[in-house]
């Protein structure tokens, strides 16, 4: 399984903080997004946003980054700290 | 400072911090560095013409510390600096309260100035924190997640 976590506005839009995704057939972060997009049109819209940021095991990555079972994949909007 | 007492560089905390205490820690048993540069960020009462009453800071535990450690490491590779301290508060913060602290020491001032600014610029675009503001407009209160500013990305890009 892959652990998926969401933060800030994204978490509120999806009304979901985390979920588990079966790793079968999932090779990259892009595949994870595709799988989540299949849920419904709202999720599809959310995961097609170019501004969406992704992290795997606490490192910011792009869509081609490889993922495997046991990884923690995070999705969140652009950061606004400081 | 001994090896049993390592300098804690990163702190993510709900509680406030004291500028004087932080400067004292940066200076304690540190006789090689002549420069101490600090930055403090506070909650201001306005944003985009709206009246702000408070901010709520959310973060991604674990990744926050990792990303800040990476930024500090980059700063140490680029400049001759001594100690670095980054404090970022989370939770609900009111007008005038301190949000963030960056302190850097170096032998001479140029390295500490530059590294301090670099750390803040990168923190703004790389560290997973998000601000939600509570605003009052025409007597009505609402809550909004802040949008990232392209000026912050442009500023951080200047270092690369």
pLDDT single digits (tens) A40-72: 999 999 999 999 999 999 999 999 999 999 999
pLDDT at B13 over 60: yes
Q: Which residues have a Cβ under 8 Å from the Cβ of A20 and sit 6 or more positions away?
A: A1, A2, A3, A4
Confidence class for position B5, pLDDT limits 50, 70, 90: low
Which of A73, A51, A11 lies closest to B150, judged by CA? A51
Helix (H, G, I), strand (E, B) or coil at A19: strand
Q: Which residues in chain B have Cβ-Cβ distances shorter than 8 Å to A73?
A: none
| Chain A residues with at least one Cβ partner in B under 8 Å | 5, 7-9, 12, 51, 55, 58-60, 74, 76-82
CB contact under 8 A, B148 and A78: yes
Question: What's residue B137's pLDDT?
Answer: 82
pLDDT at B3 over 60: no
pLDDT at B117 over 80: yes
Domain ranges of chain A: 2-76
pLDDT at B1 over 80: no
Q: Which residues in chain A have Cβ-Cβ distances shorter than 8 Å to B66?
A: 58-59
Size of interface A-B (CB pairs under 8 A): 72
Confidence class for position B10, pLDDT limits 50, 70, 90: very high
Q: Nearest-CA residue of chain B relative to A56?
A: B63
Distances (CA, A) of B36 to B7, B24, B31, B120: 15, 10, 12, 15
| CATH superfamily label, A2-76 | Beta-grasp domain (3.10.20.30)
pLDDT at B47 over 90: no
Distance CA B15, CA B17 (A): 7
Which of B104, B120, B85 lies closest to B13, judged by CA? B85
In three-state form (DSSP H/G/I as H, E/B as E, the rest C), the secondary structure along chain B is CCCCCCCCCEEEECCCCCHHHHHHHHHCCCCCCCEEEEEEEECCCEECCEEEEEEEEEECCCHHHHHHHHHHHHHHHHCCCCCEEEEEECEEEECCCEEEEEEEEECCHHHHHHHHHHHHHHHHHHCCEEEEEEEEECCEEEEEECCCCHHHHHHHHCCC
CB contact under 8 A, B123 and A77: no
Confidence class for position B50, pLDDT limits 50, 70, 90: confident
Q: What is the mean pLDDT of residues B102-107?
A: 98
| Domains of chain B with bracketed CATH | 10-153 (3.90.1170.40)
Q: Nearest-CA residue of chain A relative to B123?
A: A82
Dihedral (CA of A21, A26, A28, A32) sign? negative
Question: What's residue B46's pLDDT?
Answer: 87
Q: B18-41: per-residue pLDDT in tens?
A: 999 999 999 999 999 999 999 999
Q: Which of B71, B125, B128 has the most A C-beta neighbours within 10 Å, making it the best mutation to test the interface with A? A: B128
B115: tokens are 């590294």
Burial profile B73-83: b = 16 or more Cβ within 10 angstroms, e = fewer: ebbeeebebbb
Average pLDDT over chain A reads 96
CB contact under 8 A, A58 and B129: no
Confidence class for position B123, pLDDT limits 50, 70, 90: very high
């Amino acid at each position: 399984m892959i652990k998926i976590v969401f933060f800030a506005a994204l978490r509120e839009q999806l009304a979901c903080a985390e979920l588990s995704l079966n790793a079968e057939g999932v090779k990259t972060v892009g595949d994870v997004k595709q799988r989540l997009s299949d849920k419904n049109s709202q999720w599809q819209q959310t995961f097609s946003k170019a501004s969406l940021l992704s992290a795997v095991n606490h490192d910011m990555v792009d869509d081609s980054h490889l993922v495997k079972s046991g990884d923690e994949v995070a999705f969140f909007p652009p950061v606004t700290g400081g | 400072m001994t090896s049993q007492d390592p300098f804690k560089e990163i702190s993510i905390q709900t509680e406030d911090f004291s500028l004087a205490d932080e400067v004292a820690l940066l200076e304690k048993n540190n006789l090689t560095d002549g420069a101490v540069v600090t930055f403090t960020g506070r909650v201001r009462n306005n944003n985009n013409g709206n009246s702000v009453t408070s901010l709520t800071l959310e973060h991604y535990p674990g990744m926050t510390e990792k990303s800040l450690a990476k930024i500090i490491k980059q700063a140490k590779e680029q400049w001759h600096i001594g100690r670095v301290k980054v404090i970022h508060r989370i939770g609900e913060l009111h007008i005038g309260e301190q949000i963030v602290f960056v302190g850097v020491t170096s032998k001479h001032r140029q390295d500490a100035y530059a590294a301090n600014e670099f750390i803040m610029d990168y923190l703004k675009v790389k560290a997973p924190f998000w601000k939600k503001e509570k605003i009052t407009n025409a007597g009505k209160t609402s809550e909004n997640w802040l949008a990232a500013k392209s000026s912050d990305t442009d500023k951080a890009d200047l270092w690369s």
